[in-house]
Structure 1
Amino acid sequence: MLYLFLTFVVLLLLVSGTRGFTLLFGLGINVISILALLILIADGFNILITTGIVALIILVVAIFMNVDNPQTANTAFKTSLIIVVIILLITIPLETWVNAQGMGAENQDELEAFSLAAGISFPELAISIIVINSLGVISETSVAITSGLNEIVDNKPTLTPREIFNDGFSVGNKILNTQTNTLLFNFFSSTFPLFFLIHSLGYKFSEILNDKLIVAQILTTLICTIGVILTVPITSYLVYRKANNKVKKTEK
């Protein structure tokens, strides 16, 4: 494990140069933030509030420490915050309705000797998992779209705000394909052992669709995908509004 980590550090420094130290520092902060989130939740702190604070820290580190252009960073950060709020608005009632939080029947053998009185809210924990899971792909998508749009604006300063908005969708559509595939592959890779177990136990299709662990993974993937899709119009609108305000100031 240590040799693998050292290989990762060496390759990162070889490819990124001195900027690799900044990336490693940001990665370290995010790892510490996640560990702090787990410890605080285990100690009884409010899950949603703690998750919100940690998510804010992760977004600041992931965006502002890795993006040199301040305008790109600000737009990407605003977009990510809006998406996180939307994800919360979707997830909170949905998790309460589907009741897919907590452990499944497949965990029965492992948990037989343990007490399930953990003293935490499993619905809130499920919401926290979805929010944290979505941060990376959302921040990456918003930065990519904003960077692409700003480059287009710099190369073609005569573009109208409407044209910038349309270009945002054009850039976003190219990125959506790779990001949705990333989420899809992540879903299948994380559920491979569960699928093998389900196959060996001879689950029916209806039982698979109603399995708690499968439903929880599907919810996480779908909500994160919705967040990624919404990143395109929100980022495009923010860049469009900035360009529109600039045009109005010039006319005055």
Structure 2
Amino acid sequence: MLFLLGAFIVLLLIVAGSRGFSLLFGLAINLISIVALLILIADGFNVLITTSIISLIILIVAIYMNVENANTANIAFKTSLLIVVIILLITIPLEFWASAQGMGVEDQEELEAFSLAAGVSFPQLAVAIIVVNSLGVISETSVAISSGLNEIILNKPSLTPKEVFADGFSVGNKILSTQTNTLLFNFFASTFPLFFLMNSLNYKFTDIINDKLLVAEILTMLICAMGVILTVPITSYFVYNKALKKSANSINK
């Protein structure tokens, strides 16, 4: 493990150069933030409030420490923050309704020797998992779209705000396929052992689609995918709005 970590650091510094140090520093801060989130939740702090604060820190570090263009960073941050709020509003009632939180029947054997009185709200914990899981793809998609649009505006300053908005959808549609595929592959990678277990135990189709662990993974994937999809119009709107204001200011002058 240490060998792989060392190889990762060396490769990052070779490819990114001196900027690799800032990337490593940002990764270290985010790693500390995730560990702090786990510790605070385990110590009894409110799960949703703690997750919201830690998510804000992660977004600030992930965007502002990795994006040099301030305009791109500001748009990506506003978009990511809004998407996280939307995800919270969708996930909180959905998790309580689906009852997919906590452990599944497949975990019974491993948990027999342990007390289940964890003192943590498992529905809230499931919400926290989905929010943290979505931060990376949302911020990455927003940065990609906003940076692409800013480059287009820089090279074609004569574009109208409507054309900027249309270009945002064009850029976003190209990114959506890769991001949704990434989420899909992550889903299958994390559920491979579960699928093998279901196959060996001859689960019926109704048992499979109602399995708690599988439903939790599907909810995570679908909600994250919805967040990525919503990133396209919201980021495009923010860039469009900025272009509209710039156009209005130039006319007034």
TM-score, normalized by the shorter chain, greater than 0.5: yes
Q: How far is the alpha carbon of 1:74 from its aligned partner?
A: 0.1
Matches of 2:162 and 2:20 in 1, distance apart? 38
Q: How far is the alpha carbon of 1:250 from its aligned partner?
A: 1.4
Partner of 2:189: 189
Partner of 1:26: 26
Matches of 2:206 and 2:154 in 1, distance apart? 53
Deviations 1:56-112 (A, max 9, x none): 000000000000000000000000001000000100110011110000000000000
Matches of 1:146 and 1:211 in 2, distance apart? 39
For structure 2, the 5+ residue unaligned runs are: none
1:125 aligns with 2:125: yes
Letter in 2 for 1:248: A
For structure 1, the 5+ residue unaligned runs are: none
Deviations 1:23-69 (A, max 9, x none): 00000000000000000000000000000000000000000000000
1:39 aligns with 2:32: no
Letter in 2 for 1:107: D
Moved over 3 A (4+): none
Alignment of 1:93-112 (within 5 A): 93-112=93-112
Partner of 1:50: 50
- TM-score with structure 1 setting the length: 1.00
Partner of 2:6: 6
SS in 1 for 2:117: coil
Deviations 1:90-144 (A, max 9, x none): 0011001111000000000000011100001000000000000000000000000
Deviations 1:208-235 (A, max 9, x none): 0000000000000000000000000000
Matches of 2:3 and 2:234 in 1, distance apart? 42
Partner of 1:251: 251
Identity of aligned residues (%): 75
Matches of 1:250 and 1:21 in 2, distance apart? 40
Matches of 1:160 and 1:194 in 2, distance apart? 51
Partner of 2:163: 163
Partner of 1:115: 115
Alpha-carbon RMSD across the aligned residues, in angstroms, is 0.4
Letter in 1 for 2:57: I
Matches of 2:198 and 2:21 in 1, distance apart? 44
- TM-score with structure 2 setting the length: 0.99
Q: Aligned pairs, how many?
A: 252
Matches of 1:174 and 1:240 in 2, distance apart? 19
